[in-house]
Amino acid sequence: MTCVPSVTENWILTAQCPSRLGTVDVVTRYLRERNCYVTEHQSFDDRASQQFFIRVEFRPEGDEALDIASFEAGFAPRASEFGMTFELIPPGRLTPVVIMVSKADHCLNDLLYRYRTGQLPITIKAVVSNHPDLAPLAEWHGLDYHHLPITAETKPEQEQAVWRIVEECGAELVILARYMQVLSSEMCERLSGRAINIHHSLLPGFKGAKPYHQAFEKGVKLVGATAHYINDDLDEGPIISQGVEPVSHADSADDLVARGRDIECLTLARAVSLHVQRRVFLNGARTVVFQR
């Protein structure tokens, strides 16, 4: 199935470094010297961590095309003076991703729809699951579906097979779209900063089977979802996006489930969009997120 995702026509330059006078100037001055017009600029200086973050969208002026190698070579020595790491993203670039799922189809279906209709600048390389249930959905979209069953005894081998798929696909992002398995410490380390998970956010917290039904029994008044980068602490990685919606005594347990699924879909899609547009920076256990 041919997909033409919506992509920015601008170049994107992101950078971060220790806080220091002149950090904005070193970026914008170089763009001016390269005859580049800034169309969007966001920056943040975190006093707590003493780290500076900047994201700039720009377009070259004139007829001469921008050469990536030349641009990076010219900016590198200036960035080095500030201990600055940077990334340059050309217009139209699609981020290669692998999606991992179990049996629940709502997040996968939502991502595939947004992919098919051009709402996400990604290219889906494969869908991986520990169950065979969602193979028809992936195959209808022309995507490779890898059924990799898992048990406590086979977990190391299963995760190694997942890692091979990620590497062979050249995936830069792994999306856990309701993948109901806890990743090992080794896998979390391998995917640090490049794997996004989604889970419900119910207060008070409800764990185990049927959390929305537990919430209904307690009469909760809010349901929500959290999308975050994975780490070795279950569901406690750096947060990218959150969503919430009020509910009332008139809502049944099934109503809570339905609303929760909708919020999970929207929150996950928002987090993926922010990540692939290079709007998210890791800042220790926290994130800096430049919203659109």
Would you name the residues annotated as active-site residues?
235
Pairing of strands 286-289, 280-283: antiparallel
Distance from C-alpha of 147 to C-alpha of 169, rounded to nearest angstrom: 16
DSSP 204-229: S---SS-HHHHHHHHT-SEEEEEEEE
Tokens of 223: 């349901």
Give SS3 for 75.
helix
Record the tokens describing residue 26, joined without a space.
């070193």
Distance CA 195, CA 231 (A): 9
Q: In degrees to the nearest 10, what's the CA dihedral of 234, 238, 239, 240?
A: -130
φ/ψ region of 261 (left if φ > 0, alpha if ψ in -120 to 50, else beta) reads alpha
**Strand 85-89 relative to strand 51-60, pairing:** unpaired
